[in-house]
Chain A
Amino acid sequence: MNRRKIALPKGAFICLLVVAAAGAALATPDARSQASAILAELAKKPDAQRVASESIAKARDALRRADQLRAAGDQKRGAMQEETALEWATAAELVDKTAQAEKRLAELQTRTTELETKVFRAQALVEQSVARRARAEEAVRNLDAKGGKP
């Protein structure tokens, strides 16, 4: 009877623990799921595969090592390797993002340089036109002075 009395609260405690753990898992995805999701997203982008190949490879390798450790029963180090995988996957994502920003910047700088050249030419053209206008004004003034005003 006493045994039964002790067993009931113990079972309830385990149940609560399982529910809490499941809730926590649902609320924040674990490192493995996050790393896998990032790698799946990067796999859809050929450019990202190219520029971040090294970090992606390291993330995959860390996941593989995590599997091996967990299979060997070392859950603690398996989880640490999953953290490592997430670290590399996030770095790979950042490599892609940085490369895109730098590419956009290079394109914009090319456009700006072209615009600078156009502005320079337009400025020169305006200066020529100002001089031409001044010459024409002078000619009209001289002719007007002679009495040939139209």
Chain B
Amino acid sequence: MSRRSLSALLLFALTGCATPARPQIMVEVDRTRQGAAVLEARQSAPQAYARAELLKQRAEQAFANKDLPAAQILSEQALAAYLRATLESRLTKAESRLAEALVLEKKQAERLAQLDIEQQRLSAETADLELRAKVARDAEPLAKNEPASPEREKARREAARAIVTQGSLLCVAARLVEPARATLQPLLAKADELRKKLETSAPAPIDDATALRSDCLRELTLARRPRAQANPSQGESDALLAELGRADFLPFRDDRGVVVTLHAPREGGKLSAKAAEKLADLGRVAKAHPEFPVLVVSHDARAGAKDDGLSGQAVDALKAAGAARIEARSAGSSAPVVPPDRTGAAARNERLEIVFVSPGG
């Protein structure tokens, strides 16, 4: 045998016995196995990790046995199995955090509900205290008004008329809240007496008018107190205010309760169709909130105008829509919104006030 043939034989034998090159997929498996995600999965998804390891071992065994195709297929299975292990780890973590977040969400929703109740209770209590402070402040003795110049006396008379109207409306509101309240009748009689006095040329009884308003506000506060104390967190006036606001009635609050004003209520001396329509809507609101008695107040722009029955018509419209506890009052021209001599004053001063009297502060 020649030297060349011997060399060729030796080379062939060496090549045949050498370990084949490691396939790319096995290198990829090795790299994946060292990744942070797989290392984490080893802890959090041990079963899935063990399965991937087993597949890898089988691939290594096939490679050692020189079964390259089987080693490649098993390596691909191991690669997918490592991916599954990392995914199971992620899923376990996400589900655990999801459970924690659900508990946290529930806790926070409960806390928010508690805070809302607390806030409502505090608001109601604060409103009651502020009103009590206002009543107490009003009850403090005032400096007596001395006789004044004719112009000043005229202004004082107008002011006294408005204050008497306010006072008597507060007393009527108190009567609606507590119909059997005995102290109200003398106060309402006093209001009538002051109105008569204001028709005469005697000095304007401004101090008596102020005292009357203060007394009526106190009576209203006292009439409301049992309900307010029984349920201090009840935000019923707030809820009604919000409901009327959503219905575009532009409501506001004053000492009496929640007020809706209807402008231009008259049409040919009668209740206008538009006002009647709105009153029907308000009547339905009153029916849905029977705890709120309703006070209807008609205001006239004409000086010295007498009650033309408008408030009575408004009461009928409200009753037809289902409102039950209603009382009507005509304020005449005693409580204008703007001075009557201003341009366009009549349109603003002539109005109907629908007062949902707050029953509990």
A77 close to B70 (CB less than 8 A): yes
Q: In the complex, A129→B233 CA distance in Å?
A: 13
B94 adjacent to A101 (CB under 8 Å) = yes
Q: Which of A38-95 contact B (CB under 8 A)?
A: 55, 58, 62, 77, 80-81, 83-84, 87-88, 90-91, 94-95
Q: Is A130 at the interface (CB under 8 A from chain B)?
A: yes
**A58, A105, A150: which has the most chain B beta carbons within 10 Å?**
A150
Q: A87-B84, A91-B80, A98-B94 are in contact. Are A144 and B136 (CB under 8 A)?
A: yes
- Chain A residue with the shortest CB-CB distance to B89: A98
**Whole-angstrom distance between the alpha carbons of A55 and B87 in the complex?**
12
When distances are taken between beta carbons in the complex, the residues of chain A under 8 Å from B108 are 112, 115-116, 119
Among B85-106, those with CB < 8 Å from A are: 87-88, 90-91, 94-95, 97-98, 101-102, 104-105
Complex CA–CA separation, A16 to B112 (angstroms): 71
Contact at A105–B132, with CB atoms within 8 Å? no
Question: Shortest beta-carbon distance, B84 to chain A, in Å?
Answer: 5
**B118 CB–A CB distance under 8 Å:** yes
Among the interface residues A77, A83, A84, A109, which one has the most CB atoms of the partner chain B within 10 A? A84
Judge whether A122 and B101 touch: CB under 8 Å.
Answer: no
The yes or no answer to A140 lying at the interface (CB within 8 A) is: yes
- A105, A118, A144, A148: the one contacting B94 at CB < 8 Å is A105
Q: Which residues of A contact B105 (CB under 8 A)?
A: 108, 111-112, 115
Contacts of B135 in A (CB 8 A): 150
Chain A residues within 8 Å of B91, by CB: 94, 97-98, 101
At the interface, yes or no: A33 with Cβ under 8 Å from chain B? no
Contact of A55 among B80, B97, B111, B222 (CB under 8 A): B80
CB interface residues, B 61-85, toward A, < 8 Å: 69-70, 73-74, 76-77, 80-81, 83-84
Is B207 interfacial (CB-CB < 8 Å)? no
Q: For chain A, what secondary structure do more than half of its interface residues adopt (helix, strand, loop), or is it mixed? A: helix
Determine how close the nearest CB of chain A comes to the CB of B85; give it in whole angstroms: 10
**Does A7 touch B at the CB level, under 8 Å?**
no
Interface of B is mostly: helix
Interface window among B5-13, B123-131, B280-288, B338-346? B123-131
Q: Please tell me if B189 contacts chain A, counting CB pairs below 8 Å.
A: no
Q: In the assembly, what is the distance between CA of A94 and CA of B102, in Å?
A: 22
Number of B residues with CB within 8 Å of any CB on chain A: 46
Min CB–CB distance B177 → chain A (angstroms): 15
When C-beta atoms are compared, the residue in chain A nearest to B88 turns out to be A94
Instruction: Assess whether A123 is in contact with B69, with CB atoms less than 8 Å apart.
Output: no
A143→B76 contact, CB < 8 A: no
Q: Which residues of B contact A122 (CB under 8 A)?
A: 112, 115-116, 119
B123/A129 in contact, CB under 8 A: yes
Determine if B69 and A77 form an interchain contact, defined as CB atoms under 8 angstroms apart.
Answer: yes
Do A140 and B104 touch (CB < 8 A)?
Answer: no
The answer to whether residues A94 and B87 also contact, given A80-B73, A115-B105, A146-B140 and a CB cut-off of 8 A, is yes
The one of A77, A95, A111, A132 in contact with B73, judged by C-beta atoms closer than 8 angstroms, is A77
CB of B74 within 8 A of CB of A80, answer: yes
- A–B pairs, 24, beta carbons within 8 Å: A62-B76, A83-B73, A83-B77, A84-B76, A87-B80, A88-B80, A97-B91, A98-B94, A104-B98, A105-B98, A108-B105, A112-B105, A116-B108, A119-B112, A122-B112, A122-B116, A123-B115, A125-B119, A126-B118, A129-B122, A139-B130, A140-B129, A144-B136, A148-B140
Leading 8 A-B pairs by shortest Cβ distance: A136-B129, A143-B136, A87-B80, A148-B136, A122-B115, A129-B122, A150-B135, A101-B94
